[in-house]
């Protein structure tokens, strides 16, 4: 029996945003691997083993998934959002890189709706022109790299999406990021705090950099910052398709 | 009767990548508006009027959709990919901005799988760390802005996705973009040409900037460029989660 490894995106939370491709992969799986709250979204059934694991063990989780697939299981690693955007797809290939005897495992990545695009859709079209996505966590990169990327992105006049803006273990850095943004973009630039988008806990706040406070973000928030032309129209925020 | 306007993403092409949310919206629509090949993906049924229109008439199309919704119709504007990424969502809000008597129309945006994330999934995880998305068309912005953004993105060491890299009407600019990338990123940097991803015409080529040629892209191609750490493992391309 030939096993397979599928890395599947569950989208931002609402079940109506899971693609049929992912639904089929989950229905055919023998094993589901992932971070506890994402595995909790998969209904139990006979023949399916759930393997929930804690946060910050991505490489071990990926290696375990590859080993099970190598032994003949049909393994699905679940990510929230899109597995290719600050999620499990890279971790799986890193694990393969470190364990060449697992590199033969047939692996496929199934995309999903990533948080920034779900948040953008809920507020209008704030990422409607050139934009970038930056992970504000410094677990795997120096904070100086984050600061440099924010400055260059602002100088390029990209709209921006920030993932993992703030957590209990690093409460101060997001305030520094906001300071850099105020220096580079001015105080009137629009900023959106989108928490738990498409779930019952969804909370969206549109404000300006002048009024933005670090405490408006937590680990379930994605933060969007407009470019120099981003504007409000009624309840919507949008970035025009042109640039000057 | 209160009309509504929904802007829905059909994803990159394969039907299994359309979210259930979008499928329901299409099933409830009275009118479908969009670029000819996207409207062609919607099956005809009684009670549904299809309004296919040509490329480059986005504002007129958006205004027409808003007017129909204001008159009580349930209108769905279809985009390929995600409507918020270089697609119809911004055009709808621009149209609203120009026609304030239509700004009361109840409007919602339904996200979809955008081309760069479908292409990334098909090749591994090339956008697995901080990245940017740039539209290479200069229809609505000076080419100098495009060049500046490419240089700053390269200096930030973003992975990059390029939409609309090349068309019959502007065959030469993509070659200039490749020249800038070679200057800023070196000749060994990985580049992916992903054409018509997830459709029967799908064609994916992984190469280096040294061997990249402008003719490898056309208007159905999305181009991905790795960051300085992006690597190949077997048939896969991935960008590690760390930075240095």
From the list B88, B80, B121, the residue with the least C-alpha distance to B224 is B121
Per-residue pLDDT band for A227 (boundaries 50, 70, 90) equals: very high
The complex scores an ipTM of: 0.97
Residue of B55, B59, B56, B79 whose CA lies nearest to B6: B79
Residue B81 CB contacts under 8 Å (≥ 6 apart), including other chains:
B9, B10, B11, B12, B87, B112, B113, B114, B115, B118
Task: State the average pLDDT over residues B177-191.
Answer: 98
> Which tokens go with A213?
């406070």
The CATH number given to whatever domain includes residue A44 is 3.40.1010.10
Q: What is the pLDDT of residues B89-113, one digit of tens each?
A: 999 999 999 999 999 999 999 999 9
Contacts of B125 in chain A (CB under 8 A): 83-84, 89-90, 92-93, 109
Q: Which of A89, A103, A155 sits opposite B128 (nearest CB)?
A: A89
**Window B:126-165, CB contacts with A under 8 Å:** 126-135, 140-142, 145, 148-149, 152-153, 155-158
Q: Do residue A238 and residue B20 have CB atoms under 8 angstroms apart?
A: no
Its domain, for residue A148, covers 116-238
Pick from A129, A134, A141: which is nearest to B242 by CB? A141
B111 token code pair: 């996200």
List the structure tokens of A171: 């409460």
Final residue belonging to a domain, choices A113, A139, A154: A113
Q: Is there a contact between B149 and A141 if contact means CB atoms under 8 Å apart? A: no
Is B36 an interface residue toward A (CB < 8 Å)?
A: no
Choose the final residue of a domain: B70, B97, B113. B113
Q: Is residue A200 part of a domain?
A: yes
Q: Check if B107 contacts A (Cβ < 8 Å).
A: yes
Q: Which residues of B touch A240 (CB under 8 A)?
A: 90, 94
Using the predicted structure, report yes or no on whether residue B139 has a pLDDT greater than 90: no
Model pLDDT for residues A199-222, shown as the tens digit of each residue: 999 999 999 999 999 999 999 999
Asked whether residue A97 carries a pLDDT value surpassing 80, the answer given is yes
User: For B19-142, where are the alpha helices, taking DSSP H only?
Assistant: 20-28, 36-39, 58-70, 88-98, 115-123
B206 pLDDT above the threshold of 80: yes
If you measure CA to CA, which chain A residue comes closest to B85? A128
Residues A121 and A224 occupy one common structural domain:
yes
Q: Is B198 on the interface with A (CB under 8 A)?
A: no
* Whether residue B149 is found in the same domain as residue B92: no
Note whether B71 and B102 are within 8 A (CB): no
A134 with A215, same domain?
Answer: yes
Based on the fold, state whether residues B10 and B44 are members of the same structural domain.
yes
Query: Quick one: B148 and B121 in the same domain?
Result: yes
Domain membership of residue A244 (yes or no) is: no
The rounded mean pLDDT for chain A is 96
Q: Is residue B15 part of a domain?
A: yes
Report the pLDDT value the prediction gives residue B1, as an integer from 0 to 100.
64
Residue B244 belongs to some domain of the structure? no
Structural domains of chain B, count? 2
Shared domain for A154 and A224, answered yes or no, is: yes
Buried b / exposed e over A83-122, threshold 16 CB at 10 Å, is bbbbbbbbbbbbbbbebeebbebebebbbbbbbbbbbbbb
Mutant choice from A93, A97, A165, A194 vs B, greatest count of B C-beta within 10 A? A93
pLDDT digits (tens, 9 = 90+) for B20-70: 999 999 999 999 999 999 999 999 999 999 999 998 889 999 999 999 999
The pLDDT of residue A4 is 98
> What's the rounded mean pLDDT across residues A235-240?
97
Residue B109 φ then ψ, to 5°:
-110, 130
Given a cut of 80, is residue A79 above it in pLDDT? yes
CATH of the domain at B126: 3.30.950.10
Q: What confidence tens digit (pLDDT) does each residue in A133-157 have?
A: 999 998 889 999 999 999 999 999 9
Task: Give domain status of residue A176, yes or no.
Answer: yes
Domain-located, residue A78: yes
Could you tell me if A149 and A185 lie in one domain?
A: yes
DSSP designation for A129: S
Residues 159-188, chain B, touching A (beta carbon < 8 A): none
Answer whether residue A243 is part of any domain: no
Residues of B in contact with A149 (CB under 8 A): 130, 156-158
Find which of B104, B229, B231, B243 to mutate to test the A interface (most A CBs within 10 Å of its CB): B243
Shared domain check, A138 and A95: no
Number of inter-chain CB pairs under 8 A, A vs B: 226
Taking residues B144-148, what's their average pLDDT?
96
- A140/A217 same-domain check: yes
Say whether pLDDT at A51 is over 80: yes
Q: For residue A68, is pLDDT > 70?
A: yes
């Amino acid at each position: 029996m030939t096993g397979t490894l599928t890395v599947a995106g569950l989208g931002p939370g609402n079940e109506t945003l899971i693609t049929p491709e992912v639904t089929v992969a989950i229905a055919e799986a023998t094993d589901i691997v992932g971070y506890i709250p994402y595995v909790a979204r998969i209904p139990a059934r006979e023949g399916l083993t759930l393997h929930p694991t804690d946060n910050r063990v991505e490489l071990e989780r990926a290696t375990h998934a590859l080993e099970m697939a190598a032994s003949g299981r049909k393994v699905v690693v679940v990510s929230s959002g899109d597995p290719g955007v600050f999620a499990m797809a890279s971790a799986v290939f890193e694990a393969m890189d470190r364990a060449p005897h697992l590199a033969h495992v047939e692996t496929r990545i199934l995309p999903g709706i990533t948080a920034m695009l779900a948040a953008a859709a809920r507020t209008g079209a704030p990422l409607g022109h050139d934009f970038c996505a930056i992970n504000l966590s410094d677990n795997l990169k120096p904070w100086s790299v984050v600061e440099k990327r924010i400055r260059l992105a602002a100088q390029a006049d990209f709209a921006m999406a920030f993932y993992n803006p703030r957590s209990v273990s690093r409460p101060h850095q997001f305030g520094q990021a906001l300071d850099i943004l105020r220096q580079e973009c001015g105080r009137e630039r629009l900023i959106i705090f989108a928490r738990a988008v498409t779930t019952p806990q969804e909370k969206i706040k549109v404000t300006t950099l002048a009024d933005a406070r670090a405490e408006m973000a937590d680990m379930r928030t994605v933060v969007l910052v407009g470019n120099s032309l981003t504007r409000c129209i009624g309840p919507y925020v949008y970035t025009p398709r042109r640039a000057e």
